Amino acid sequence: MDRVDIYNSLAEHIHNKDAFFKQLQSLPIDVVGDLMLNIPDEFQAVKSMLPRMAPDEIQRNWNGSSGYDLLLQSCAFMRTLECGVNRFSGRSLDGSKILDFGCGWGRLIRLLYKFTDPANIYGCDPWAKSLEICNESNLTASLALSNYLPTELPFPRVKFDFIYSYSVFTHLSEKAARAAVTACRKHIADDGLLIITVRPRSYWSVHPESQNHLAKDQMLADHDEKGFAFTPHGLGTPASVDGEITYGDTSITLKYIADNWNDWVVVGTEYFLQDQYQMLVFLRPRH
Ligand SMILES: C[S@@+](CC[C@H](N)C(=O)[O-])C[C@H]1O[C@@H](n2cnc3c(N)ncnc32)[C@H](O)[C@@H]1O
């Protein structure tokens, strides 16, 4: 890859936004990712068409790492998502309508430019700060505030081909997780997929003591007996609803999903080594 050739190919389209984003779709996913971090100042016009990255501190707060380390993980997730979508739905992310549920600062939304037009890209998050950062970074997508315990998604009458949710169900309480999958079911196309990430049982042996002191034995027992283990983060977080904390750390089994989320059918799973504590679960709507 010669980066300068790529910047020049994009510079030809800076006066036509549609053509610019079509040109992005012709590039490999890692090249699209690289563009988010790495455009020299002499290509200012190209740079101004793309979202700015969130400051490193925000990346670390939301995702635990930043810069290229995080970008490599983000691109690996996107490739794993694309591969599973092909395998488990026979469809493609290309040209589809996609929602990032719990989009945070818009880390993964910007990689969707590889697959589809900005008009097809949606993101929601219940934390106003997340959307504020997305908007400050000049992200081109439809963004809206959701609820911590949603009954609907904040996009009335929109049906998505694919909804993905990375590192969100790894944090939700049982009630919040159920509300989320129920709301997503109302907004999925008949032949669409919901893709979430979940943590395995082994997560509890690496759960950081600095996050909160917890009875690991209790988490392991909940995981084994109920299939769902959750420890809340502190009270006073924005995710407290009516005194109940909806956000913390969570592990979920596939059996729990099959037994409890009856609107959905598990059609497959995927892994990627860049984050072994985030298993992708592919769900199709039950009809
Ligand atoms: C660890 S961050 C991950 C952000 C983003 N998905 C990513 O991978 O970069 C978790 C996100 O979930 C959001 N969140 C918290 N509670 C939620 C809920 N009930 N429904 C959807 N998102 C939620 C948070 O505001 C935060 O942006």
44-89 tens-digit pLDDT: 999 999 999 999 999 998 899 999 999 999 999 999 999 999 999 9
The per-residue pLDDT for 109 is 98
Ligand 1 mean position, distance from CA 166 (Å): 8
According to DSSP, residue 166 is labeled S
Query: Ligand 1 centroid to 112 CA: how many Å?
Result: 17
Tokens of 194: 């919901």
* Spatial CB neighbours of 110, under 8 Å, sequence gap ≥ 6: 32, 36, 50, 51, 139
pLDDT at 11: 94
pLDDT computed for residue 241 by the predictor: 78
**Residue 46, pLDDT score:** 94
Query: Is the CB of 246 inside a 6 Å radius of any atom of ligand 1?
Result: yes
User: Tokens at residue 67, please?
Assistant: 């810069």
Determine the Cα–Cα distance for residues 73 and 65; give it in Å rounded to an integer.
10
Mean pLDDT by 10 residues, the chain (287 residues): 90 96 96 91 93 92 92 97 98 98 97 98 96 95 97 97 98 97 98 98 88 80 97 73 86 98 98 95 97
DSSP state of 210: T
Q: Which two tokens stand for residue 168?
A: 């969100």
CA distance 206 to 199: 11
- CB of 120 shorter than 6 A to ligand 1: no
Q: Choose which residue among 56, 125, 198 to substitute to test ligand 1 binding: the one with the highest number of ligand atoms within 8 A of its C-beta.
A: 125
CA of residue 199 to ligand 1 center, whole Å = 15
pLDDT digit string, tens, across residues 102-117: 999 999 999 999 999 9
Does any ligand 1 atom lie closer than 6 A to the CB of residue 247?
yes
Residue 230 Cβ < 6 Å to ligand 1: no
C-alpha distances out from residue 165 to 30, 98, 194, Å: 20, 11, 8
pLDDT of residue 237: 64
Q: Against a cut of 0.85, is the pTM above it?
A: yes
pLDDT of 236 reads 56
Find out whether the beta carbon of 173 lies less than 6 Å from any atom of ligand 1.
no
